[in-house]
């Protein structure tokens, strides 16, 4: 291949990579509004459940591990982490964990967390009683806050699932 053809080929690859990168950033930026629309339309199981509906069917013969992951979008200047990396629980038992969030800027910022589950089918069995992800979070400059998540893992979780990963990503909202 001559130099001109190689240079042209490199430019075409770089152009495709640039388009792909811009598309990925655009998709990440649109995730929170898309998530809110999906929740409003009932496409995700994110309803609050009453705590009294649980703890009556605890499967004490079984243990599962729930791992916690915290992320922030590239444009979100917050520090965000779970205070516990994981818990070992019985399915059906009401469980309380806490995340810590800090606004590292000199300005007020509004954000919202979008959850995801691993394996994906676990979302069907993960019932939140209380979660900071249900509402937008407004943090003042340099504010630090602990945010609880209270949940129950349905005892009907398939027996071959022994570990669930609950991952939240905070996104900055324009407000």
Same domain, 60 and 144: yes
Average pLDDT, the chain: 84
Token pair 């190689």 is at which residue? 6
Same domain, 110 and 125: yes
Degrees (nearest 5) of the Cα angle 69, 134, 60? Answer: 60
pLDDT, tens digit, for every residue of 73-103?
Answer: 888 999 999 999 999 999 999 999 999 999 9
CATH number at residue 141: 2.60.370.10
Same domain, 56 and 33: no
Same domain, 39 and 87: no
Highest mean pLDDT among 26-30, 70-74, 160-164: 160-164
User: What does pTM read for this prediction?
Assistant: 0.69
* Residue 1, C-beta contacts closer than 8 angstroms, at least 6 positions apart: 9
Domain region containing 7 = 1-44
What is the count of structural domains for the chain?
A: 2
Same domain, 117 and 160: yes
pLDDT, tens digit, for every residue of 107-162?
Answer: 999 999 999 999 999 999 999 999 999 999 999 999 999 999 999 999 999 999 99
Same domain, 38 and 55: no
Same domain, 76 and 154: yes
The Cα–Cα gap between 167 and 164 comes to 10
């Amino acid at each position: 291949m001559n130099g001109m053809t190689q240079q042209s080929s490199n430019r075409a690859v770089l152009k495709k990579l640039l388009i792909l990168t811009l598309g990925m950033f655009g998709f990440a930026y649109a995730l929170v509004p898309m998530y809110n629309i999906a929740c409003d339309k009932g496409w995700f199981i994110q309803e609050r459940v009453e705590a009294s509906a649980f703890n009556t069917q605890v499967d004490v013969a079984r243990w599962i591990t729930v791992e916690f992951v915290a992320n922030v979008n590239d444009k979100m200047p917050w520090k965000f982490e779970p205070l516990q990396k994981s818990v070992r629980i019985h399915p059906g038992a009401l469980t309380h964990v806490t995340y810590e969030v800090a606004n590292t800027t000199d300005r007020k910022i509004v954000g919202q967390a979008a959850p995801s589950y691993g394996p994906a089918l676990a979302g069907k069995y993960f019932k939140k009683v209380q979660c900071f992800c249900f509402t937008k979070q407004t943090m003042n400059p340099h504010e630090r806050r602990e945010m609880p998540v209270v949940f129950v893992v349905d005892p009907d979780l398939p027996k071959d699932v022994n570990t669930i990963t609950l991952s939240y990503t905070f996104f900055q909202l324009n407000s």
